[in-house]
Amino acid sequence: MSNLSPLQKARYAYEPKLPEVLRDDIANITAALGNPTKSVADQIQLLDLFPLTYGAPVVRFTKGTNPETGKTRKIGVILSGGQAPGGHNVIAGIFDALKKANPKSVLYGFKGGPSGIIDGDFMEITDEIMDAYRNTGGFDIIGSGRTKLETEEQFEKSLQVCKKNDIDGVVVIGGDDSNTNGAVLAEWFKKKNSGITVVGCPKTIDGDLKNELIETSFGFDTATKTFSELIGNIEKDANSAKKYWHFIKLMGRSASHIALECALQTQPNVCIISEEVKEKNMSLDDVVEGITDVIVARGAKGLNFGVALIPEGLIEFIPEVGRLISELNDLLAKEAEYFSTLKTVEDQREWINHELSRDSSYVFSSLPRSIKMQLLDDRDPHGNVQVSRIETEKLLIELVGEQLDRMKLKGEYNGKFSALAHFFGYEGRCAFPSNFDSDYCYGLGYSAFLLLSAGLTGYIANIANLHKPANQWIPGGIPLTMMMNMEQRHGERKPVIRKALVELDGAPFKAFAAQREKWAVNTDYTFPGAIQYYGPTEVCDQPSKTLKLEKGA
């Protein structure tokens, strides 16, 4: 192929590093079962909803034999939700483990996300196809999608597709919502005595699919390294030109893990952490004032430039806006049909204002027109506001600018303020996976196969000890129900995997909080540079700062 870059060719040849136990002959690995588990909350409701898969034990792979490993199998894999670097390596891990266990076994890829299993749209992944995607970014091998598997009709169709094609195992590579889908599908397949098992893999650049057992979701490492490279470059530019404030919104949905990790890597002047905004009950005015104070303090030192990181979910965490969004979510879910009959934006806004509570109606009216429109945009299939489409960075530039103008009039500020808005998200989702993500994902794929071959269902593949070199990693599986609780979605209580938000008493936030005042007024930028794939291990194989701090490494 002539359109291959030299790096792409080199990455094809990269051999991901596996945990020690997975390096053995696949026939010599078995699943050791731990104690029964329970969900993080709402145990009674969840037991009721998942009577067949609830409470299964945690699994660890060890030396031993599993007579089922060598069975001829047909496995189907789904890539679900937003792209995250390393997805192709999860598939490569499943593929290699499956073929090592039995070369006659077949791996199918469901095309375009969960809709592929419902519609029976799939392709066989051959050696040739697999080799063209190893260690590369993107989900283009089979495509991805955001269809939510939630109706009995969809489950039944998926079951028929698997039965018709003798598929005995399904791997769902996705985030919290997609793995919730996986758990529901596993329960359904079991209820139907189908013998078809389902396991998940923790994917999302957002880093919010983690808990005390899942140390990180794949893709977070590469995406944050990519964003940090860009932020570092912008910091260099800001410090060279000394004339712009750069407001950079970073993907991550509700959680601020990405913003926090990038702040730890680049030491910007401002980084807002949504979880802190909520905890301190800060209003939009408070957030604006906090940023303005830094601009004024720097201006007083003649530093009329800077870099501010804004997590994309911030708007939801400002308590008054959060309440507004939650009312809007319920309203738009319950009255979707009526809302769709309102043809003009003015009609929509008038009706919304009328239906909202008095406080939310006031907040809604006070927002700029563009933000109002973005808040009324379609929800994603899981009922979430699409925060990537809300231009919070521009809103903050506008509000900070107005505040500085008022201060100028009163003679309280005489510096300059010229701001540029950026949004980094899509830039990082399909980068070549870092060595960490390449290795981690390959191990996850391997583990997913081993869970299926042990006959386990309703699990998520897991690797622990990730702050150590790959040979010391500990692979296994966690029952999905263990991570679940009940939440309000589309106006109803639904079982979902609990999102991990930034913990304000966690080591990463504490490390940031201890230094941010210094970073605000000084110009202490650090320049992580581009991800390195070849070279010394301390340059190429390091996990994220968040992971290291969380593990006390």
* The one among 69, 89, 180, 204 contacting ligand FBP by CB under 6 A: 204
Question: Shortest approach of ligand FBP to residue 140 CB, angstroms?
Answer: 14
Contact region for ligand FBP (CB under 6 A) — 1-9, 162-170, 203-211, 239-247? 203-211
Catalytic annotation present for 524: no
Listing DSSP states for 289-341 in one string gives HHHHHHHHHHHHTT---EEEEEETTHHHHSHHHHHHHHHHHHHHHHTHHHHHH
Please say which residue, 319 or 381, places its beta carbon nearer to ligand FBP: 381
Nearest to residue 59, comparing CAs of 39, 38, 35, 75? Answer: 35
Question: Shortest approach of ligand FBP to residue 425 CB, angstroms?
Answer: 6
Of 177, 206, 208, 439, which one is the catalytic site residue? 206
Question: Shortest approach of ligand FBP to residue 82 CB, angstroms?
Answer: 3
CB 331 within 8 A of CB 355: yes
* The one among 253, 278, 467, 498 contacting ligand FBP by CB under 6 A: 253
Question: Shortest approach of ligand FBP to residue 224 CB, angstroms?
Answer: 12
Nearest to residue 189, comparing CAs of 170, 165, 164? Answer: 170
Chain positions 263 to 322 lying near ligand FBP, rule: CB under 6 A, are 312
Is position 355 an interface residue for ligand FBP (rule: CB under 6 A)? no
Question: Shortest approach of ligand FBP to residue 87 CB, angstroms?
Answer: 10
* Interface map 401-430 toward ligand FBP (x if CB under 6 A): ------------------------x---x-
Q: Do the strands 245-250 and 419-424 form a parallel or antiparallel pair, or are they unpaired? A: parallel
Three-state DSSP at 474 gives strand
* The one among 388, 488, 515, 523 contacting ligand FBP by CB under 6 A: 388
Q: Do the strands 474-479 and 59-63 form a parallel or antiparallel pair, or are they unpaired? A: antiparallel
* The one among 309, 387, 421, 466 contacting ligand FBP by CB under 6 A: 387
Question: Shortest approach of ligand FBP to residue 461 CB, angstroms?
Answer: 16
Q: Name 308's bridge partners.
A: 247, 270
Calculated CA dihedral for residues 45, 326, 273, 415, nearest 10 degrees: 180
How many binding residues for ligand FBP (CB under 6 A)? 15
Is position 458 an interface residue for ligand FBP (rule: CB under 6 A)? no
Listing DSSP states for 397-414 in one string gives HHHHHHHHHHHHHTTS--
Is position 81 an interface residue for ligand FBP (rule: CB under 6 A)? yes
CB 253 within 8 A of CB 208: yes
Euclidean distance between CA atoms 25 and 8, whole angstroms: 29
Is position 82 an interface residue for ligand FBP (rule: CB under 6 A)? yes
- DSSP type of residue 229: H
Euclidean distance between CA atoms 491 and 485, whole angstroms: 16
Query: Where does this chain bind ligand FBP (CB under 6 A)?
Result: 81-82, 84, 175, 204-206, 251-253, 312, 387-388, 425, 429
Q: Which residues are catalytic?
A: 206
